[in-house]
A and B are shown apart, each in its own frame.
Chain A
Amino acid sequence: MSRRSPTKQARPSWVIARTDLRQLMQARDFWLPLMIVALLFFVIIPTFLLLILGSVKDANLAKKLSDVVGSLPKDLQAKVHGQKGPASASYALAVYLFAPLAIIVPLTVSSAVGAHTIVGERERGSGEFLAHSPATERQIYLGKLMASLIPGYFTAAMGFLLYSLVVNLIVGPKLGGWFFPTTNWWILMLWVLPPFIALALAVILAISARVSSAAAAQQASALATLPLIVIAYGVSSGTLFRGAGSAFIIGGLAWCAAIFALWRASKAVSRERLLGMGAT
Chain B
Amino acid sequence: MATESGPAVALAGVRRAFGDVLAVDDLTLEVPRGTVTVLLGPNGAGKTTVVRLVTGALHPHGGSVRTLGLDPEVAAEGTEVRRRCGVVPARPALYDRLSGTDNLLYAAALFQVEPRLVDARVAEAAERFGITDALDHKVGGYSTGMRARLALARAVLHEPDLLLLDEPTAGLDPESARTVLGLIDEMAEGGKTVLMCTHLLLEAEGLADQVVVMDHGHAIVSGSPRELTRQYWPAARVILDADDPSLLDQARGLPFVRAYERNGVALVDLEHETDVPDLVDALVGAGARLTRVEPQAPSLEELYFAIRKENREPS
Show the binding face of A for B, using Cβ within 8 Å.
1-10, 12, 15-16, 19, 22-23, 26-27, 124-129, 131-136, 271-272, 274-275, 277
Contacts and interface: CB of A to CB of B under 8 A. Distances in A.
A-B pairs, 3 with minimum CB distance: A5-B118, A125-B91, A134-B83
Interface string B31-68: 00000000000000000000010011111000000000
A22 B98 contact: yes
A136 B58 contact: no
Contacts of A19: 95, 98, 102, 106
Contacts of B114: 9
Given A7-B116, A132-B82, 4 more contacts: A27-B97, A126-B94, A132-B87, A277-B18
B111 A275 contact: no
26 contacts: A1-B101, A1-B122, A2-B99, A2-B102, A5-B115, A5-B119, A5-B122, A7-B116, A12-B109, A15-B110, A16-B110, A22-B98, A26-B98, A26-B138, A27-B97, A124-B96, A126-B95, A129-B154, A132-B85, A133-B82, A133-B110, A134-B82, A134-B111, A134-B112, A277-B18, A277-B58
Contacts of B91: 125, 128
B16 to A, nearest CB: 10
Contact of A23 (B93, B98, B101, B108): B98
A95 B296 CA distance: 89
Contacts of A9: 109, 112, 114-115
B123 interface: yes
B108 A5 contact: yes
Interface of B: 18, 52, 55-59, 75, 79-80, 82-83, 85, 87, 89, 91-99, 101-102, 105-112, 114-116, 118-119, 122-123, 135-136, 138, 154, 164
A136 B59 CA distance: 14
A1 B92 contact: no
A274 B56 CA distance: 13
A130 B214 CA distance: 27
A247 to B, nearest CB: 40
Given A6-B115, A134-B83, A271-B57, A129 B105 contact: no
A6 B109 contact: yes
B115 A7 contact: yes
A125 to B, nearest CB: 4
A129 B122 contact: no
Contacts of B96: 124
A8 B98 contact: no
Nearest to A270: B59
Contact of A3 (B18, B92, B95, B102): B102
Contacts of A277: 18, 58
Contacts of A15: 106, 109-110
Contact of B89 (A5, A6, A128, A135): A128
Nearest to B58: A272
Contact of B119 (A1, A124, A131, A274): A1
A275 B138 CA distance: 24
A129 B114 CA distance: 20
A129 B102 contact: no
Contact of B109 (A10, A127, A132): A10
A62 B186 CA distance: 84
A271 B53 CA distance: 11
Contacts of B59: 272
Nearest to B126: A1
Given A15-B110, A129-B89, A131-B52, A5 B95 contact: no
A94 B49 CA distance: 59
Nearest to A143: B110
Contacts of B75: 136
Contacts of B107: 129
A157 B108 CA distance: 33
Given A6-B115, A15-B109, A22 B102 contact: yes
Nearest to B94: A126
Contacts of A128: 57, 87, 89, 91, 93
